[in-house]
Amino acid sequence: MNQDRTAGTLRRLPVQKRSAERFERLLEACAELLDEVGYSALTTKEVARRAEVPIGTLYQFFSDREGLIGALAARNLETFLERVAARLEHEKPEDISGIVDVTVDEFVTMRRTITGFGVVDFGAAGQDHILEPALDNNTAVAERLRALTATVTGVQGNAELEIAVRVALECADSVLKLAFRTDPQGDSQLIAECKRVLDSYLNDRIRPPGN
> Long-range contacts for 20-25 (Cβ within 8 Å, ≥24 apart)?
22/51, 22/53, 22/57, 23/61, 25/51, 25/52, 25/53
For the stretch 28-48, pLDDT in tens is 999 999 999 999 999 999 999
Phi (first) and psi of residue 191, to 5 degrees = -65, -45
Pick from 11, 172, 144, 127: nearest CA to 79? 144
Q: What is the dihedral of CA 107, 114, 84, 171, to 10 degrees?
A: 20
- Write down the pTM of the prediction: 0.88
CATH code of the domain occupying 3-205: 1.10.357.10
Q: Span 178-192, mean pLDDT?
A: 97
Pick from 72, 85, 86: nearest CA to 123? 72
Domain range list for the chain: 3-205
Confidence band for 129, pLDDT divided at 50, 70 and 90: confident
Under 8 Å between Cβ of 58 and 44: yes
The whole-angstrom separation of Cα 111 and Cα 121 is: 8
